[in-house]
Structure 1
Amino acid sequence: MKEDNEQISQTKQRQKICKRRCLSVGCVLIICLLLIFITLLVLALTVFKAKQPRIKLLSATLDGVSPRITFPVINIQLNITLDLQLLLVNRNHASFKHGSGKSFLSYRGNQFGEADIPPGFIPAMGSTTISCRLTLEVDEMVSNITALVSDVLDGQLVVDTRARIPGRVTFLKLFKKHAVATSECHFTIAVLAFKIRSRECKTKTKL
C-alpha cells in the first residue's frame, strides 16, 4: 500500500514537471512568434514600405525643321520631333517591374502625337533610362491651325508632354504593390532659334 502511494506521488510529480516544461516551451514559442511579428511589422513600416517610383526628365532636344509659313496662300510647314530622356528611379528595397507605358504630346489641350514605352525591370534601389521620341503631327492639327499660325508668327510654341508607366513593386517574391508613375512637362519652343526656351516638369505616382 505504501509503495502504491509512493508510485502515485512520483507519477503526479512527473506530471507536474511535464506540465511546467510544456508551459515553459509554450511561453518561449509565444515570445518568439511575438518577436517575429514585431520584426515583420517594423520591416513593413520601414524597409519594406512601398515607396513611389519617380520619373525625372534628364534631357530634352528638338529635331526636325523650324516651323515656317508661306504667303499669299497660307501654308504652314511644320516638322518638330521632341526627343526625351527619362530616368525611372526605383526607391524601394525590392524590385520594380513595369509594363508597357505611353507618352503623349499635346498642343493647346489636344493630343497630336504619342509614343510607346517598352516594359522593363528595375532592381531594388536601381534606376533605368528611357528614351522617348514624340513627333508633332501637323496633319492632325486642322482644328488648331489658326492658333498654330498665330503662335508661329509670335515666335514661340507651347507644347505639353505626359508619360505614364504602370508597374508593381514585389517584396520577397510574395508581396506585390501596384504603382503608376507619371511625368508631365510644359515646354516653350523658340520658333526662329528652333530650341527649347524653357521647360517645367512635375511627377507623381499612384500606389
Structure 2
Amino acid sequence: MNFGWKELLTLGGYLNWAGQVSVVLALTLFKPKQPKTTISSATLQSISPAINIQVNVTLDIKIQVENRNRASFKHEDGTSLLMYEGVEVGDTDIFPGLIPARSSTILPCRLVLQADKLASNVTGFIKDLMGGQLSLQTVTRIPGKVTFLGFIKKHIVAVSNCQFVFGVPDMEIKSQICKNKAKL
C-alpha cells in the first residue's frame, strides 16, 4: 500500500498533535501533588501528675490528610512522632488506607507521652501544663502511591511538620502551623 505525501503529512500532523497533548497532560493534569496534612483536633485524654514526678499524658489526635490529586492516594504504614522542645516524647503508627481523589480523610491517632523521655525537662513541662498552654510538635510521615489512568504510578512520601499550642483547661488547639512537603 503506497501512501502519498499528503497522507504522510496528515498522519505526521496527527501524531505531532497527539504527542503535544500527551506532554501537556503529563505536565499539568497527571502531575502528582503533595497531600496536605493538618491536625484537625487533639483531645487530652488524661493527665495525672503525681507527687513522685510521674506524668501520664494521653493525646487523641486526628490528622486530616487532603489528597489534591486527580487520582486516589493509597498510603502504606506511616508514623507520627510527638515532640516537646525538640525531644521525641511519643509516637504512634498510622495504618494503611486509601484516600479518594480530590478529597480528604481523618486519620485518628493516640499518642501516649513517654514520661522517661520527658525526664530532661519535666519541670518545664509541668510549668507549661500549669500555665494552661502546652507547645507541641508532630512530625508525620506517610508513604504511598498515586495511580493515574490505572497504569501510571508515582510513589509519594508525604511529610508534615505541625507545631501547635494546646490549651489545657479548655482542651483544644489554640494555634497551629503546618509545613507539608512530598518526596516524589
Instruction: Give me the whole-angstrom Cα distance separating, in 1, the residues matched to 2:120 and 2:177.
Output: 27
Which residue does 1:200 correspond to in 2?
A: 176
In 2, the alpha carbon distance for the partners of 1:27 and 1:132 equals 61
Give the helix-richer structure, 1 or 2. Answer: 1
1:60 is aligned with what amino acid?
A
Measure how far apart 1:68 and its partner are: 3.4
1:47 Cα deviation from its structure 2 partner: 1.6
Tell me by how many angstroms 1:46 deviates. Answer: 2.2
Pick from 148, 151, 163: which aligns with 2:140?
163
1:56 counterpart residue number: 38
Tell me if 1:128 matches 2:137: no
Alignment-derived partner of residue 15 in structure 2:
33
* 1:16-56 Cα deviation digits (max 9, x unpaired): xx86x432332222111111111111211222122221113
Q: Which residue of 2 aligns with 1:13?
A: none
> How far apart, in 2, do the equivalents of 1:204 and 1:98 lie?
16
In the alignment, is the contact (CA less than 8 A) between 1:184 and 1:203 conserved in 2?
Answer: yes
**Identity across the alignment (%):** 42
The Cα shift of 1:119 comes to 1.2
**Aligned pairs, how many?**
183
Flag structure 2 segments of 5+ consecutive residues without an equivalent: none
Find out whether 1:148 has 2:130 as its counterpart.
no
Q: Give CA deviations for 1:86-130 in whole Å, capped at 9, x if unaligned.
A: 221211112222111101111121111110001112232232221
Tell which structure's C-alpha radius of gyration is larger.
1
Query: TM-score scaled to structure 2, two decimals?
Result: 0.84
The C-alpha deviation readout for 1:159-185, integer Å capped at 9, x for no partner, is 221211112222223322222222222
**Structure 2 match to 1:68:** 49
Change (3 A) 1:121 1:190: closer
Residue 58 of structure 2 is aligned to residue 81 of structure 1: yes
Whether contact under 8 Å (1:179, 1:205) holds in the other structure is: no
Query: Which among 78, 92, 97 is matched to residue 101 of structure 1?
Result: 78
Q: Name structure 1 gaps, 5 residues minimum.
A: 1-17
